[in-house]
Amino acid sequence: MELNGKSRLNNNCDMKNRSMNKIYIPVLLCSALFFISGCQLQPNQMKADLDFLFKTIEEVHPNMYAYISDDEFGQHRKRLYGQINQPLTRAEFYKLVSPVVAELRSGHLRLWPPKGDFRATSSNVFAIGLRWDGQNAILKENYGPENLPLGGKLLEINGQDANSIIYKFARYTADECKNADPWIIERADFLRFYLWLEFGDAETLDLKIRARDGKEGHCTVTAFPARKLAKRVKDNENKWSYRHLPEYNTGLMEINLWQNTPQFNEFLNKTFETIDDNKASNLIIDIRDNPGGRSPPVQWILEYLTDKPFRTAEKIETKVSKQFLQATGRTLEEFRRMLGDESIEFGRVIIQNIHLRKPVDKPHRFGGNIFVLIGRQTASASVEFASTIKCFNIGVLVGEETGDATVSFGNTFSFKLNNSGLRFGVPSKLGFQACGKSDGRGVIPDYEVDQKPEDTAEGVDTVLQFTLDLIRNGGTVSDIQLAD
C-alpha cells in the first residue's frame, strides 16, 4: 500500500505542481430569508463563508491543485475577496464565487446554485431545451405553447450573443480538467436556473434563431408556470424503462439514474427475465442522460452481461481528513487499526488497487450483442459502467464522448456555508476507472455519432437509429455515414 500526502497526476491537462465571526439570531434569520425580505449578506459574512469554503476544500480534496498551481489559484482567490466590498444577495454572491471554484477544474467540486431562491421568487420558467453541438446551442425542445423552429441554432438571447451567455453559464460549473464546458446547458434544471440568474423574473425572452433552412428570425418565448412544467416533466420521466423492438429482435433499456435500491434490483431481475423470454439477440442500454448515482447497481447489471472477471476501477486514492472519518463514523485510531498502519495522519492519501472480481451466477444472463449509448450527460457512475464495457470488450459504445473523465475525483461530501446557506460539494477520492487514462478525456465511443439538428426537428433519435441500422446490417458500418 502506497501512502502519499501530496499526490500529483501526470497527464496532459496542463496540470501543475504546488509551487469566523459570531453570527447572532437576527443575522441568521436575515440570511435565511433575504430573498423574501430584501435582506442582504454583509461583506464580513461572505468573507467568513469564503474562509470556511476554501479551508474545507484544502482539507478534504485529495489534490485541489491537480489542474492549476496554488499560486495561480491564489490570484483568483485574492481578486474574489477584493470584490466582496458591499452587501450582496445570495444569487449575486453565488455568481462571484462559483466561477472561482470552477477554476480548480474538478468535476465533482462545486458550489451548488441557490435554487431555493429561484423557486421562492419565480412562479414561471422558460421551458425550452437546448443541446450543444460543439459550437452552437441547438433548440431541442419546447414545453411551452409557442411554435419554435426545433433544430435551429440559437444566435441571440434578448439581443445578446447567445454563445457569450452560454459560456458565462458554463463557467459556473466545472468538469474534470475543464473550467468552462457549455454542455451544462443540456441539463434542463441548470438551464432554467441560469436563465433566471441572468435575466431575473422576465416574462418573455427574445430569441434570434437560424432555422435549418438558413433563414434567421426572432421568436418570443413566454415564461411557463413552473408547477405545470414540473408535472409535465415528471409525467414523461422514467428513471429506468425497457421495451422490446421485435423488428430488430432487440431489447432497449434506458437507465437514467443508478439507484442502490431493491426496486432497481427488481427492475433488473424482471427485465433480463423478459429479455430471455423474448429470445432477443441484441440489447441496447441507453445511459446518455444518466448523470450517475451509486456504484453498486453498476456491478449488478454487469453481472447480467458477462461471466468473465472484471473490475470497474483500476485504483482509488483516498484523502484522510476529519470530515471523511466523520462521514464513515470512524475515529482516526479505528481507521489506523483497520488498515494496520499506525502512522496514518490527516492529510495522507491512501492508494487502493482494485482486483478483478468474478461475477456471481445469474439465471437470465444475456449472451447476445450489447450496445451502450453514451453522451455528454453520461457522468460519474455511468462513466464507470461505460469504461468497464469498453475495457473488457463486453459491448460496443455508440454516441459521444462522456462528460466525465475516466480518471476523476469523486465520492463527494456536502457542506453548508453558515451565513449564505449555500451548499457545496468536495470530492474525497480520486478514481481511476477501468482502463482509465490521466488525459482529461472521457470514455470514447467505438462509433462516434452526434445528434443531427434536422433529426431533432423531426423527432428522430440519430444515435439510436444509427445503432439500429448497425444491428440491421449485421454489425458493420460500410454503408452507414458516420457523423463528423
**Topology agreement, domain 127-230 and domain 240-472:** no
The answer to whether the beta carbons of residues 198 and 182 sit under 8 Å apart is no
Phi, psi of 415 (to 5 degrees): -135, 165
User: What is the rounded average pLDDT of the residues 59-80?
Assistant: 97
> pLDDT class for 453, splitting at 50, 70, 90?
confident
pLDDT of 394 strictly over 80 = yes
The answer to whether the beta carbons of residues 359 and 299 sit under 8 Å apart is no
For residue 118, the model assigns a pLDDT of 72
pLDDT of 28 strictly over 50 = no
> Rg of the chain over CA atoms, in angstroms?
24
The answer to whether the beta carbons of residues 404 and 442 sit under 8 Å apart is yes
Where in the chain are the domains?
Answer: 25-118, 127-230, 240-472
Beta strands at 447-448 and 128-132: parallel, antiparallel or unpaired: unpaired
117 against 436, higher pLDDT: 436
What length is written for the chain?
Answer: 484
Per DSSP, the three-state class of 179 is coil
> Residue holding cell 497527464?
11
For residue 134, the model assigns a pLDDT of 84
For residue 463, the model assigns a pLDDT of 96
Q: What percentage of residues in the chain have a pLDDT greater than 90?
A: 67
Note the CATH number of domain 240-472: 3.90.226.10
Does the domain at 127-230 match CATH 3.30.70? Answer given as: no
For residue 227, the model assigns a pLDDT of 72
| Measured distance CA(211)–CA(127) in Å, rounded | 19
pLDDT, tens digit, 9 for 90 and up, residues 87-97 = 999 999 999 99
Instruction: Mean pLDDT check: name the lowest of 147-156, 270-279, 423-432, 453-462.
Output: 453-462
| Measured distance CA(68)–CA(88) in Å, rounded | 29
pLDDT, tens digit, 9 for 90 and up, residues 289-299 = 898 888 899 99
User: What is the rounded average pLDDT of the residues 371-395?
Assistant: 95
For residue 176, the model assigns a pLDDT of 87
Cβ count within 10 A of residue 146? 13
E-only strand ranges, 357-422: 369-374, 396-399, 407-416
For residue 223, the model assigns a pLDDT of 87
190 against 81, higher pLDDT: 81
pLDDT of 219 strictly over 70 = yes
For residue 142, the model assigns a pLDDT of 85
Mean pLDDT of the chain, nearest integer: 87
Per DSSP, the three-state class of 405 is coil
User: What is the rounded average pLDDT of the residues 368-388?
Assistant: 95
How far are the Cα atoms of 74, 103, 242, 457 from residue 170, in angstroms, in the given order?
Answer: 22, 11, 33, 25
> pLDDT class for 302, splitting at 50, 70, 90?
very high
User: What is the rounded average pLDDT of the residues 294-318?
Assistant: 95
> pLDDT class for 11, splitting at 50, 70, 90?
very low
User: What is the rounded average pLDDT of the residues 274-295?
Assistant: 94
Q: What is the dihedral of CA 52, 96, 103, 328, to 10 degrees?
A: 30
163 against 24, higher pLDDT: 163
> Residue holding cell 449578506?
41
The answer to whether the beta carbons of residues 202 and 213 sit under 8 Å apart is no
User: What is the rounded average pLDDT of the residues 293-315?
Assistant: 95
